[in-house]
Structure 1
Amino acid sequence: MLNLRVSLLLSLFYTSILLTSLSGLIRATVVTLDSIEIYNTHELFGAAPEVYFKCQGDNRTISLPDVKKRHVLYAFKGEESWQPLTELEAKKCKRCGIYEKDSFIKPDDIFDEWEFCASDFASPDGKYIHFKEKEFNATFVCPDCVLLEGASNHTDGPRNKAKGMHWALVLLICVLVTTFVVLGAVMAYKYWQKRKKQQEQARFLKLFEESDDVEDELDIGPLSHVI
C-alpha cells in the first residue's frame, strides 16, 4: 500500500512539473529591447545620461548602461544581463516608460510614458517600434506576444482561428495530462498487486518452513517411521 501511495505522489509531482512547463510555454511573453536611439538628453552641462526602463507594478528598474550619446543607434542581442525588460499578459497592458535619472534633487526626467500592450506586437517577427518625437526611437521584441489571444490587430477571421488553436492546444494538454495520471495510477496499482501477491507467497512458504521446524523439534515424523 505504501508503494502505491508513493507511486501516486510521484505521478502527481511529475504532472505538476509538466503543467508548469507547458503553462510557461503558453503564457511566456518576455519582452526584450532590440535597439534604441535617443535624440535628446536632459542633463545639464553635457553630462552623460543615465537612461532606464520601468513599468508600473514591476519590481525591477532596468538600467540601460550603454545608452550614453544622442543620435547613436544602440543594438542589443536580448541576452544582456539586464534583459528581459518585462513580461506582458494577453489582455492586460502595463504603464511603462523610458526615463533619465536626474543628478539633482528633483523627479527623474521622462523621455516618454505609454500603455505597453501585447497587441502592440502585431508584426510577424514579433517586433514593436515606439517613437517619441525629439526624444527617442526604440524597437522591442516579443515573439510570444503574437501567439496570445487578442494579440493581433488583424481581421476577425485570423483572430478566431488563433483563438481556436489556443483552446485546441489547451484541450490537448489536458488530455495528455489526464492520460499520464491514469496510466501512472494503473501501473502503480498493478505493481502494488504484484508486490502484495509476492508477500503473501513469502508468508505462505514461511508458514510451511515454521511447521517443519516444529515437527523436527517434537520428533514427529511420518507414520511409516512409527510403524
Structure 2
Amino acid sequence: MSVWHLLLFVSCVPGFVISAVVTLDSIKIYNSHEWLKTSKPIVYFYCKRENKTHLPDVKEVNVSYAFKGEESWQPLTEFTSKKCKRCGFYEEDKLKSDDVFDEWEFCPSDFVDSDGKYRRIKDKEFDATFLCPQCVPLAAGSHNRGSKGMHVAVVILISALVSTVLILGIVVVFKHWQQKKREQEQARFLKLFEDGDDIEDELGLGTVI
C-alpha cells in the first residue's frame, strides 16, 4: 500500500484528524495598493485566528516568484481537519487599514490535482499556486464519502422499489388465489346439485304435483 493510499484510507475514518501542511509554490502580484508606487509592497498571507506570514521575497509587481517550500517563513498554514479556513493575501499599510488582495474560504478540498497543487487567480491582483500533497487524500476522501452517500441512496431507493413491487405481486397472487378458490367452491356446489338430480333420476323419483 502506497503512502497516498494510506492517507486516503485514514482520511475516510470518521473523526480522524490528519495534518496537511500548505506551502506557497509561486506568486505574482499585479498591483500595489500603496499611494507611493515607488515604495516596496509588504505582502503577507493570513488565516483567521492564525499568525501573519510575511512574504519577504515579494517586493515587485508583475514579477513571478517561485519557492521551494523550505523558506524560513514557510509553511503558510496547516489543515488539521477537513474544515475550511478564512484566508487571504494582504498588503500592509502604515497610514490606514491593511489592503486586501483577496480573501476566500481556503479548503483542503481545493487540492484536487494529483500533484497536490491549487492555483488561485484574482483578476488584476495576484496569481498564486499553493502546494499541499497531504490535502489530496483529504479531498479524495470527501469525494468518496459523497459518492458512497449517493450509492447508499440509490441502494435504498432500489430496495424500496423492489419491496413495493414484491408486496404488490403478493397481493395480486393472493387475490387471484381467492378468486380461484371461490370458483372451485362454486363449481363443487353446483356439482353436488347435479349429482343429486342424477341419483333421483336413477331411483325413478320425480316431482309429484
What band does the TM-score fall into relative to the shorter chain? 0.5 to 0.7
Deviation (angstroms), 1:88: 1.4
Give the RMSD, CA atoms, in angstroms.
2.5
The aligned amino acid for 2:98 is D
Q: Give yes or no for contact 1:152–1:159 (8 Å, CA) kept in 2.
A: no
Q: Specify every segment of 5 or more residues in structure 2 that has no aligned partner in the other structure, as ranges.
A: 1-16, 151-209
The one of 117, 127, 130 aligned to 1:137:
127
Structure whose alpha-carbon radius of gyration is higher: 2
Deviations 1:184-214 (A, max 9, x none): xxxxxxxxxxxxxxxxxxxxxxxxxxxxxxx
Tell me whether 1:87 sits opposite 2:78 in the alignment: yes
Aligned match of 1:113: 103
1:149 to 1:112, Cα distance in 2 relative to 1, 3 A: closer
Deviations 1:83-114 (A, max 9, x none): 0000114421000010000021x110000000
Aligned match of 2:42: 50
1:154 to 1:133, Cα distance in 2 relative to 1, 3 A: farther
Tell me whether 1:103 sits opposite 2:94 in the alignment: yes
Tell me whether 1:34 sits opposite 2:20 in the alignment: no
Q: 2:71 and 2:148 mapped to 1: Cα distance?
A: 34
Deviation (angstroms), 1:152: 5.8
1:155 to 1:62, Cα distance in 2 relative to 1, 3 A: same
TM-score (norm 2): 0.59
Deviation (angstroms), 1:44: 1.5
Deviations 1:56-94 (A, max 9, x none): 021x21000111111110000000000000011442100
Q: Specify every segment of 5 or more residues in structure 1 that has no aligned partner in the other structure, as ranges.
A: 1-25, 161-227
Q: 1:69 and 1:33 mapped to 2: Cα distance?
A: 17
Q: 1:121 and 1:159 mapped to 2: Cα distance?
A: 21
Deviation (angstroms), 1:154: 7.4
Deviations 1:38-61 (A, max 9, x none): 000011121110000000021x21
TM-score (norm 1): 0.54
1:100 to 1:66, Cα distance in 2 relative to 1, 3 A: same
Q: 2:87 and 2:138 mapped to 1: Cα distance?
A: 20
Aligned match of 1:189: none
The one of 66, 76, 84 aligned to 2:57:
66
Q: Give yes or no for contact 2:27–2:127 (8 Å, CA) kept in 1.
A: yes
